[in-house]
Structure 1
Amino acid sequence: MKLNHINLYSHDTEADRAMFEQYFGLRTLVVRGIKMAIMQDNDGLVLIVNHFYNKLEGFDYPTQFDILHIGFIQKSREDVDALYQRLSADGWEVQAPCNIHGAWSFYLRAKGGYFIEVTTLTPVRPEEAYQGNAQ
């Protein structure tokens, strides 16, 4: 099974679409006014940002949208730092990179209200590795 798409509620779909293109290399497939943007990465993953709050028709989205985040893995600490520098230079409020759970990471809040994590691969310690239902 392959993860095929992620759909995030956004307060500003156009700003988020532009950010994902400029900084994360996604390409836009579909724009539906200010309500939705559908993008794709080079591996086929589809990212959708939507502003359908008034169209939920009884479906309860969490009221704390800022707990949502997506992550982008970088190959090295230098790659994380370089993206941090680009975002900072362009005026984004970006948390300074630091060591989080053994990975070099930073977070920023997208214009849509959710968070983006940029990080190196987080190492998994042997005692953390999932062993199924083994007790």
Structure 2
Amino acid sequence: MKLNHINLYSHDIEADRAMFERYFGLRTLVVRGSKMAIMQDDDGSVVIVNHFENRLAGFDYPEQFDILHIGFIQESRDAVDALHARLNGDGWNIQAPHDAHGAWSFYFRAKGGYFIEVTTLTPIRPQEAYRGERQ
């Protein structure tokens, strides 16, 4: 099975589209005014950012739905640091990279209101490995 798409509610479609293109290499496939942008990565996965306020009523998002985030894996700590330096140099308000469960990572808030995580692969400790056992 392959992940097909991620759909994120955004407060600023244009700013988020530009961020995904500039820093994460996504290419824009479709823009529907200020309501939606559809982008794709090199492996064919799709990221959609939308601002459909009229669809929030009755939809069961948590009240603090901006805690949702999308993560991007980098190959090394140096790659995480390099992307952090680019974002910081461009004026993004971001936390310093830090060790998080054995991975090197940082988070920042996209203009659309949700968070972006940039991280190295998180190692799975033997005691955390899923073994198909029911709890």
The residue that corresponds to 1:100 in the other structure is 100
User: Counterpart of 1:91?
Assistant: 91
Distance (whole Å) between structure 1 residues aligned to residue 103 and residue 55 of structure 2: 39
The aligned amino acid for 1:44 is: G
Gaps of 5+ in 1: none
Q: Give the deviation of 1:65 after TM superposition.
A: 2.1
- 3-state secondary structure, aligned to 1:39: strand
> Using the alignment, how far apart are the partners of 1:9 and 1:18 within structure 2?
16
Aligned to 1:28: 28
> What is the aligned-residue identity percentage?
79
Let me know the Cα RMSD of the aligned residues: 1.2
Deviation at 1:53, TM superposition (A): 1.7
Range moving further from structure 2, 31-40 or 56-65: 56-65
Counterpart-to-counterpart distance in 2, 1:86 and 1:10: 22
The 5 A counterparts of 1:92-131 are 92-131=92-131
* Inter-partner Cα distance in structure 1 for 2:134 and 2:61: 34
Shift of 1:85: 0.1
Q: Which runs of 4+ in 1 moved over 6 A?
A: none
**1:78 is aligned to 2:78:** yes
Normalising to structure 2: TM-score of the pair?
0.96
| Deviation string, structure 1 residues 77-133 (Cα, Å, up to 9, x no partner) | 000000000000000001100000100000000000000000000000011000112
Q: Does 1:43 align with 2:69?
A: no
